[in-house]
């Protein structure tokens, strides 16, 4: 992901002023700043749900991203159904496969779909989903709970599970350790440490950031400053600049 001299303001409030950065493959970066600094807006700009006044954000061709936002995931489907089938691309492949399964005229197309289904872990997807849900604190009896009966914190865990199962090229995670107990946070740290994609992470959890990130992007007064190292390194460098 490349951002080049991006500018954005809401009314008289400037959110970004000539902000540039590059999120590299397999890199884990912490995005920090005061509340209202524009961290969540930056995520929306990256995925294209928020426009820019000028500048550009360029995503590598065919890049797949997973975005965890606060307040997602409601409906009558169960927690397990949401995690397994909550990927529109996978669902499209699955539905087309089922539609063509008994039609001999489309065997070549069915073979292509089956290969893609296997690449996406279709046959082991439910087992993987259960492993992730358990890692994030779900008991087996909760897998069949409908989303509408879950609290906001548990729905957030479902959404996080859904995104982790997809294994996208880039994870954009807004406060993923919110609502998690210590055991679930430790599991998530371990999962993300071995994750092969890139991670851009908004968090106020200092230990979480220290464990995971190798660079810190700080948004402060509409400008973005890049620091090398984890959160402790960022604080030391920031203090040294202010002295």
Where the chain has pLDDT below 50, the residues are none
Least Cα distance to 1 among 169, 154, 236 occurs for 169
pLDDT in tens, 49-91: 999 999 999 999 989 999 998 666 667 899 999 999 988 889 9
pLDDT value of position 74: 67
Least Cα distance to 172 among 55, 18, 21, 30 occurs for 30
- DSSP state letters, 220-243: ETTEEEEEESSHHHHHHHHHHHH-
pLDDT value of position 95: 92
Q: Could you tell me whether strands 65-68 and 54-58 are parallel, antiparallel, or unpaired per DSSP bridges?
A: unpaired
CA dihedral (67, 143, 187, 163) in degrees, to 10, reads -20
pLDDT in tens, 185-203: 999 999 999 999 999 999 9
pLDDT value of position 121: 84
pTM: 0.90
pLDDT value of position 38: 94
Can you give 142-201 as a three-state secondary structure string? Answer: HCCCEHHHCCHHHHHHHHHHHHHHHCCCEEEEECCCCCCCHHHHHHHHHHHHCCCCEEEE
Q: Is 215 helix (H, G, I), strand (E, B) or coil?
A: strand
């Amino acid at each position: 992901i490349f951002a080049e001299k991006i500018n954005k303001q809401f009314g008289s409030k400037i959110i970004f002023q000539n902000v540039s950065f590059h999120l590299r493959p397999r890199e884990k970066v912490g995005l920090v700043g005061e509340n209202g600094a524009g961290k969540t807006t930056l995520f929306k700009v990256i995925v294209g749900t928020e426009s820019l006044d000028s500048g550009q954000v360029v995503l590598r061709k065919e890049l797949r991203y997973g975005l965890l936002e606060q307040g997602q995931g409601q409906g009558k489907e169960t927690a397990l159904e949401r995690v397994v089938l909550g990927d529109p691309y996978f669902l499209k492949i699955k539905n087309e496969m089922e539609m063509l399964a008994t039609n001999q005229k489309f065997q070549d197309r069915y073979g292509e779909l089956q290969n893609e289904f296997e690449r996406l872990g279709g046959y082991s997807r439910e087992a993987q989903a259960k492993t992730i849900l358990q890692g994030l604190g779900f008991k087996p009896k909760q897998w069949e709970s409908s989303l509408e009966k879950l609290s906001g914190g548990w729905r957030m865990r479902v959404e996080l599970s859904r995104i982790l199962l997809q294994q996208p090229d880039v994870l954009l995670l807004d406060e993923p350790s919110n609502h998690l107990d210590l055991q679930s946070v430790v599991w998530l740290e371990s999962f993300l440490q071995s994750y092969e994609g890139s991670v851009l992470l908004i968090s106020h959890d200092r230990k979480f950031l220290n464990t995971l990130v190798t660079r810190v992007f700080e948004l402060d007064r509409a400008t973005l400053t890049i620091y090398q190292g984890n959160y402790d390194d960022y604080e030391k460098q920031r203090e040294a600049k202010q002295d």
